[in-house]
Amino acid sequence: MPKRASQAEHDSMVEFLADALYGRDMKDVTADIPGYKRPQTITLPGYKDGHTPDVTAYDGNQLIIYEVETADSINDPHTEEQWKLFAEYALQNNAVFYVTVPPMEIASARKRVKELNLDIKVVTVP
């Protein structure tokens, strides 16, 4: 996928989130940015492509998957593919999937989740 205009904002949010999870004593925190161990690519039968989440961590034994979005990525077709895959994976594997957005984008992200009829938690990162 080509780099989007907000890539620096995205990467800054990923780093902030990963650092915050370390601060909360989450286990095995991974992040898809330089300086961190990269999360494993998630695949499922019936999905053409696998995708790598932006951040993963374990809260006890439960996998937590985070995908960071910015204003220009919420309605992107690639984002829809990722959300569907990660939501289904979480459902099948007793994991939790969060879409993480800037505070000003929470309504837009929740609207998109509803349009796609997905069971996804939307949270913010400052």
Secondary structure (DSSP) of 34-82: TTSPPPPPB--TT-SS-B--SEEEEETTEEEEEEE--TTTTT-HHHHHH
| CATH for the stretch 7-124 | 3.40.1350
Structure tokens that stand for 80 in this block: 């829809």
At 23 the pLDDT is 76
At 1 the pLDDT is 43
Mean pLDDT, consecutive 10-residue stretches, the chain (126 aa), reads 69 93 86 95 93 95 95 94 97 96 96 96 86
End-to-end CA distance of the chain: 25
DSSP SS3 for 112: helix
* pTM for this predicted structure: 0.92
- Neighbouring CB atoms inside 10 A of 48's CB total 7
DSSP SS3 for 96: strand
